[in-house]
A = this chain, B = another copy of it.
Amino acid sequence: MALEKVKQGVKGCSAMVVKIGGEDPRKIVHALKVGVAMAPVSLIYYFDLFHDGYSTGSGLYAMWAINTVAVVFEFSIGATIGKGVNRTFATLLGGALGVGAHSATSFAGNTSESIMLAFVIFFISGVATFGRFIPKLKARNDYFFLIIIVTFGLIAVCTYRGEKLIEMAEKRMFTVLVGYATVLVCCCICPCWAGQDLHTLVATNIHTLATFLEGFGGEYFGTGNKRHEMEGYRGVIDSKSIEESLVNFAKWEPRHGKFRYWHPWEHYLKIGRLTRECACKIDALNGCLNSDMKGSLEIREKVKGACTEMSRECSKALTEVAEGMKAMTRSTHADPHVKRAEAAVTNLKWVLQAPIWGDAHLLDLCPAATVASLLMQIVACTANVVDSV
């Protein structure tokens, strides 16, 4: 019975590992990399290679190395570098402030020194905490402020003096460097670039919209059905926060692959915004697809040609853009498709202007008119996306 449960548990776990690993094998590689980084760092201190006295109980430097590796080692290179840089500068600044506060107050008597120290700690912690609420700083430097608070508090109340303090700082710095070095080496094995991920994400999102539009004509005018793949656009609408964090990470990354150091990462936010706008219109279009009001067949037949053409050409244009992004080439193949989609819009307007609708009720025309005008909006959005890339 218990054995049965254990078996089931193991089965469930391995299924999950296979699933997550199948979606993105780099996650398994990352877990292995963290393991590989932790083992030597721990052993350095186990063998007391740097004679810091950990094994005799008087020092605790091992903690700094282990902490550094565990905290700084993030999935993408950008996130790792960002955290490392923030941590380093915050430690230095916090430490300097701490030493400053300590020497400024140490001339006073014991009681007044402690009162002054308490006030300074209160002030610096408060200011640093408030800094975490400033939106721009929060996105990139949240960790910076956290480490300032920790380091400053620690150093300010530290009663070491002079040489002893410098010796301690040196040892700690060295330990942290050992941690950084290990992380850097392990990072270089199969690196995961946030910039690459961002690029792929934006391109994939555009491709997802193209998939919907490709299927839409056939679906709405009743000649095919590929519902399942078409629902993907919902994920596009929700992708803002992940795009923003990837942009923040990507900014830390050095030149890699086809991305230069000053790659315009902010620009992806603009493309992403336009893509999401387009996805919103597509959601409304999807509402028409699911609606039971489909209008008269006759009228749908009339607009079918132009609407299918608009949808198909937009899809082709977006596909070209997505493929071009993936290949990192500035493709001009999308433009003719946009042109053709715009021609289809003009064409549709002609069809709609011809006085052939005399008898029908507007209620029958309503669904077709809605689809037509949403598709016109989508053509405009597509043109924006194509222009922005």
How many angstroms between the C-alpha atoms of A57 and B125 in the bound complex? 24
How many copies are assembled?
2
Q: How large is the interface on A (under 10, 10 to 19, 20 to 34, 35 or more residues)?
A: 35 or more
Residue A85, interface by CB 8 Å: no
- In the complex, the answer to whether A17 meets B130 with C-beta atoms within 8 Å is yes
Kindly identify which residue among B40, B125, B241 contacts A34, using a CB–CB cutoff of 8 Å.
B125
- In the complex, the answer to whether A355 meets B349 with C-beta atoms within 8 Å is no
- In the complex, the answer to whether B362 meets A370 with C-beta atoms within 8 Å is no
Contact mask for chain A residues 153-173; partner B; CB cutoff 8 A; 1 contact, 0 none: 110111110001000000000
Residue A108, interface by CB 8 Å: no
Kindly identify which residue among B17, B153, B159, B354 contacts A55, using a CB–CB cutoff of 8 Å.
B159
Shortest CB distance A154–B (Å): 6
How many angstroms between the C-alpha atoms of A31 and B149 in the bound complex? 12
Residue A231, interface by CB 8 Å: no
Shortest CB distance A66–B (Å): 4
- In the complex, the answer to whether B40 meets A130 with C-beta atoms within 8 Å is no
Known: A71-B146, A114-B43, A352-B361. A284 touches B374 (CB 8 A): yes
A279-299: which residues lie under 8 A (CB-CB) from chain B? 280-281, 283-284, 287-288, 291, 293
Known: A66-B150, A150-B70, A377-B284. A156 touches B42 (CB 8 A): yes
Contacts of A284 in B (CB 8 A): 280-281, 283-284, 374, 377
Known: A125-B34, A352-B366, A370-B369. A46 touches B150 (CB 8 A): no
Residue A389, interface by CB 8 Å: no
- In the complex, the answer to whether A117 meets B370 with C-beta atoms within 8 Å is no
A41-77: which residues lie under 8 A (CB-CB) from chain B? 41-43, 45-47, 54-55, 57-58, 60, 62-63, 66-67, 70-71
Question: 10 closest pairs, A vs B, by CB?
Answer: A35-B126, A369-B369, A284-B284, A35-B122, A31-B130, A241-B241, A352-B363, A46-B157, A38-B125, A370-B373
Chain A contact residues, CB within 8 Å of chain B: 16-17, 20, 27-28, 30-32, 34-43, 45-47, 54-55, 57-58, 60, 62-63, 66-67, 70-71, 114, 117-119, 121-127, 129-130, 133-134, 146, 149-150, 153-154, 156-160, 164, 237-238, 240-241, 276-277, 280-281, 283-284, 287-288, 291, 293, 349, 352-355, 357-358, 361-363, 365-367, 369-370, 372-374, 376-377
